[in-house]
Amino acid sequence: MKGICFLQFPYFKRTGFSYQERFKCINSYRCIERDSQGFITGNERALEELFVDEEDTRKGHACLNVMASRIATVFASLREFPFVRYRAAKSLDVTTMTTFRDLIPTKLAARVWDCLIQYKQKTEHFPQTETCELLILDRSIDQIAPIIHEWTYDAMCHDHLNMEGNKYVHEVLSKAGGPPEKKDVLLEGHDPVWLELRHAHIADASERLHKKMTNFVSKNKAAKIQYGSRDGGELSTRDLQQMVQALPQYSEQIDKLSLHVEIAEKINRIITELGLRELGQLEQDLVFGDAGMTDVIKFLTTKEDATRENKLRLLMILAAIYPEKFEGEKGQNIVKLARLPQDDMNAVNNMRLLGGASETNKSSTSAFSLKFDIHEKKCAARKDRTGAEETTWQLSRFYPMIEELIDKLNKGELSKDEYPCMNDPSPTFHGTSQSTPMHQAPAPHSMRSRRTSTWARPRNSDEGYSSDSVLRHASSDFKKMGQRIFVFIVGGATRSELRVCHKLTSKLQREVILGSSSLDDPPQFITAKAETADSK
């Protein structure tokens, strides 16, 4: 995957790794676009190789072996020895046969455990007792997160701006007075404005950018003189770029703000042009059980100008919530109603099968009717959270399932039957005791010293330029935090899930690290689902 950098740790020098071992470790996994709380194993085709026909699982086994080795390398490089938990296979009854895809987390957990035991036995200074927690999941735990429209600044940039990794092509005024020039910029940790805004709702990000520009102009005399005659009119992106040329002493500050003002303006135009607010509302209403099949049918029949991708994403969400609606001819008829090519049915079917839906009762389909679902009960794939801070902004109800799972893991409330542990943790370890009250859960502390990551170090304040209190408090003191929580998702992680890990690190005072076979934006995930082999 492009836009990924190698993950480097300061621990190598202190822990006795040879240069050959360091090189091997660094090349075994990669950091998510310079994000200190994420890594990928580089198995971008995991969905295609693992969710396969039962007769051909060779690629799947090979994929799991590589993945397990790279996950174990992460723990070896960090000198961490985890409790290894995993999502157990679910069978409807004793007569239901467990398939290869049902056992993916189980098989991966066993392989990771074998690798860790090898490190424990053969590697000097490797911990001999558990120091952290690892939870292994697969993409079926949350089929909706990869395709629903996310409304944070980071997610919308990668969803709608055709970025290559974290590279954005920015148009700037030519110094020679010619046509605009294209300039590649990286949206990453060296940009303090990006760090502040990336997890903010797009409406919040737009408001903050406007305030920053207003503050900059009001507090810098030269800028006020340059644009004091505008009578309060808003500065356009072109105005900002002209200001850079007129006020070179402020070029760095204005450059950053100009970049993000341009991006926010572009995203807001796309939201309006594609009618994303109405679509986003329908998506979230479906997820929370406030809308059903008839609402989708109404949207498809009245919004014929909706793009092919957006209609496909809506149907994939529908298939994840109502898999039975896509059995046999029913699914074909829904795709026809959406005026999508039959090729798109493959992605919808694979979304349905990812959740383990059976293809029974195909013969029970009947002629398609716009009223076939009117009297059926609506399903909810999420429960509303009371008093959540996310509800401040419209279309911010949705949350990834891992947020709930990590919270339960931290409180010791994960079911041992649904999420068994390879190394049977002792009842005294945090996150495993069933008798510990939620509000009194002990916070274990790591004996390791941790260095604050470069991206998290606070920067000096510049008028309208540096991040505000968000950035100043971003440098968490990891030495005071409890033991780490690692979550690994087979089949691709999302930016919303990475955001959750940052959020919970602050909330739980335990560093939460997300690992996955890949980091997928919606277009990548849709392509993967279209290519995934159908289950027989």
Angle at 434 (CA atoms; ends 428, 437), nearest 5 degrees: 90
Element (H, E) at 35: strand 35-40
CA distance 209 to 205: 6
Per-residue pLDDT of the chain (536 residues; tens, 9 = 90+): 333 333 334 333 334 445 455 455 545 555 555 678 999 999 999 988 888 766 678 899 999 999 999 999 999 999 999 999 999 998 655 666 788 888 999 999 999 999 999 999 999 889 999 999 999 999 999 999 999 999 999 999 999 998 988 999 987 766 666 777 888 999 988 899 999 999 999 999 999 999 988 887 777 655 555 555 445 556 566 665 565 555 555 667 778 888 999 999 999 999 999 999 999 999 999 999 999 999 999 999 999 899 999 999 999 999 999 998 888 888 888 988 999 988 888 888 888 878 764 333 333 333 333 344 444 557 888 888 766 555 678 898 999 999 999 999 999 999 999 999 998 754 444 443 333 333 334 344 443 434 333 333 333 333 343 333 333 333 445 556 899 999 999 999 999 999 999 999 999 999 999 999 999 999 989 988 877 644 44
| Half-sphere exposure for 452 (CA within 13 Å, toward CB) | 10
Taking CB atoms within 8 Å and a gap of at least 24, the contacts of 88-92 are 88/417, 88/418, 88/419, 88/420, 90/356, 90/418
- One of 3.30.460.10, 2.60.40.10, 3.90.830.10, 2.120.10.30 is the CATH number of 153-273, namely 3.90.830.10
- Residue 471's contacts (CB-CB under 8 Å, 6 or more residues apart) are 192, 195, 196, 458, 459
CA distance 31 to 232: 44
Query: 10 Å Cβ neighbour count for 355?
Result: 15
CATH topology of domain 5-146+399-446+481-531: Rossmann fold (3.40.50)
Query: 10 Å Cβ neighbour count for 179?
Result: 9
- The answer to whether 425 and 439 have CB atoms below 8 angstroms apart is no
Chain position carrying tokens 């195909």: 362
SS3 168: strand
SS3 87: coil
CA distance 240 to 237: 5
- Domain residue ranges in the chain: 5-146+399-446+481-531, 153-273, 285-364
Token pair of 271 as six digits: 């939201």
Q: 345: buried, middle or exposed (CB in 10 Å: 19+, 13-18, 0-12)?
A: buried
Nearest CA to 133 out of 360, 425, 336, 435 is that of 425
Q: 423: buried, middle or exposed (CB in 10 Å: 19+, 13-18, 0-12)?
A: middle
**Rg of the chain over all Cα atoms, to the nearest angstrom:** 25
CA distance 42 to 31: 10
Token pair of 462 as six digits: 């510049």
